[in-house]
């Protein structure tokens, strides 16, 4: 069965929105290598509407070279079926059912890129196999956080953790009940 994974850049104070505002001086070679490994083991991407609308990546950018041709599914109830970004398809019907079916297909890992609401939904639905948090040594001060005070109590287990040369803490978690 394929794994559904998500990797989010975060500040020490838990902000995951607009990481370019706090990660610019702490992104290092180790994070770059980790991103390369993440991309190499992934052949399908899940996106929420906002990430889809914000991200059509530039072809000269290494991330753009990876994500532009890859199979992308967009979780949205308001976008139409005619999506302009190459290899993009709107998730038909229920997201949970779609992801369960996607996990059963042949292929490599499925990555949720950006898309805070999709990451949260799949984690609490028990469909996210791994959550990688890349904590930058910075306090963002404001912005959307991954978790809310009203979230259900959820136990995680640490799968892997490392500290990079610029002080980023990269921790990968899975649900304890998985």
The three-state secondary structure class of 32 is helix
Q: Could you tell me the two tokens for 126?
A: 């028990």
What domains appear along the chain, each with residue ranges and CATH number? Answer: 4-175 (3.40.430.10)
Spell out the residues 6+ positions from residue 55 whose beta carbon is closer than 8 angstroms to its own.
Answer: 47, 67, 85, 113, 114
Residue 154 has pLDDT above 90, yes or no: yes
What would the pLDDT profile of 125-151 be if each residue is shown by its tens digit?
999 999 999 999 999 999 999 999 999
Let me know the angle formed at the C-alpha of 162 by 166 and 22, rounded to the nearest 5 degrees: 40
This prediction has a pTM of: 0.92
């Amino acid at each position: 069965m394929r794994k559904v994974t998500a990797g989010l850049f975060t500040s020490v104070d838990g902000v995951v929105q607009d990481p370019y505002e706090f990660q610019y001086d702490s992104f290092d070679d180790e994070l770059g290598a980790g991103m390369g490994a993440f991309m190499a083991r992934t052949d399908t991407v899940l996106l929420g509407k906002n990430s889809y609308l914000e991200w059509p990546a530039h072809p000269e950018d290494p991330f753009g070279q990876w994500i532009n041709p890859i199979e992308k599914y967009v979780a949205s109830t308001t976008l139409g079926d005619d999506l302009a970004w190459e290899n993009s398809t709107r998730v038909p019907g229920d997201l949970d059912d779609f992801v369960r079916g996607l996990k059963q297909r042949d292929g490599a890992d499925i990555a949720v890129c950006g898309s805070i609401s999709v990451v949260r939904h799949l984690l609490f639905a028990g469909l996210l196999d791994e959550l990688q948090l890349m904590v930058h040594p910075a306090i963002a001060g404001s912005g959307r956080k991954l978790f809310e005070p009203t979230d259900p109590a959820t136990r995680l287990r640490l799968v892997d953790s490392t500290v990079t040369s610029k002080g980023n803490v990269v921790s990968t978690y899975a649900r304890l009940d998985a």
